[in-house]
Amino acid sequence: MFQNKKVVVVMPAYNAGKTLLKTYEEVMAQGVVDKVILVDDASPDNTAKVAGNLPLTKVFVHERNLGYGGNQKTCYRLALEEGADIVIMVHPDYQYSPKLIPAMASLIANGLYHCVLGSRILGGYALKGGMPLWKYVANRFLTLTENILIGAKLSEYHTGYRAFSRELLLKLPLKNNSDDFVFDNQMLAQIVWFGYTIAEVSCPTSYFAEASSINFKRSMEYGVGCLWTALTFRLAKMKLIKNSLFPAL
């Protein structure tokens, strides 16, 4: 327990067998995590086998690949069923440093925020950590556009390092979100829609061969999905359309 709050780390996994153990060991070294839940999205490698040997870890395996968003839906459902007060998503590919877990958990445990993001942009870590230039440029363009349409002031919407309160996860209509990568973006837009403030902490990141990444084509599809989400948010806010992502308040 961290300040009388149960902290659960969720890991949406796909082909993470090579990096899972290193990520897990650093997660548990922080001393604040009560449980790790790993959801294996029908990986063809040994991800589930490696996870099954890790203490304090619950492993759930999808019979078929549901996609990144579908994986997260399972992660959050299982975390809530475990009685989590604070849920932190950590990718098991070791792209994000688990050393920020205590800081992120603290911001939620103290009642300051219900959502905390680990931002690769704050502090200028993205390019230093090896983010490809084209991804960095796309990140900045999408974030600027989304901030204008959604009305927030985030440094980025595209980090996969996130912490949430139980209250927030119970509030969001996550079942209405995509099962693909744009799930992440829809979730942040929903958080703003319901009036919650999103905090950010500077996060070093690293890109290497085993770190997960999507190709250029999928990145383009994701970018279009992000812009559509932001536009839908704005139109719903203006009461010009109705959309299940953004229900009436």
Task: Annotate 201-220 with three-state secondary structure.
Answer: EECCECCCCCCCCCCHHHHH
Q: Which CATH number fits domain 7-237: 3.40.190.10, 3.20.20.140, 3.90.550.10, 3.40.50.720?
A: 3.90.550.10
When computed from its CA atoms, the radius of gyration of the chain, rounded to whole angstroms, is 17
Q: Which residue in 96, 131, 101, 129 sits closest to 116, CA to CA? A: 101
Q: What is the dihedral of CA 72, 75, 77, 81, to 10 degrees?
A: -170
Q: Delimit the domains of the chain by residue range.
A: 7-237
Written as one letter, the residue type at 197 is: T
| pLDDT score recorded for residue 209 | 60
Q: Tell me the β-bridge partners of 201.
A: 118
Written as one letter, the residue type at 36 is: V
Contact in structure between 249 and 194 (CB atoms under 8 Å): yes
Mean pLDDT, the chain, integer: 95
**Among 124-133, 159-168, 231-240, whose mean pLDDT is lowest?**
124-133
Task: Please tell me whether residue 124 adopts helix, strand or coil conformation.
Answer: helix
Report pTM: 0.94
Taking 90 as the threshold, does the pLDDT of residue 217 lie above it? no
**Among 52-66, 154-168, 215-229, whose mean pLDDT is lowest?**
215-229
Place of tokens 């992660």: 75
Mean pLDDT over 70-95 rounds to 97
Exposed, middle or buried by CB within 10 Å (0-12, 13-18, 19+), for 80?
A: middle
Contacts (Cβ under 8 Å, ≥6 apart) of 183: 67, 68, 69, 70, 72, 73, 177
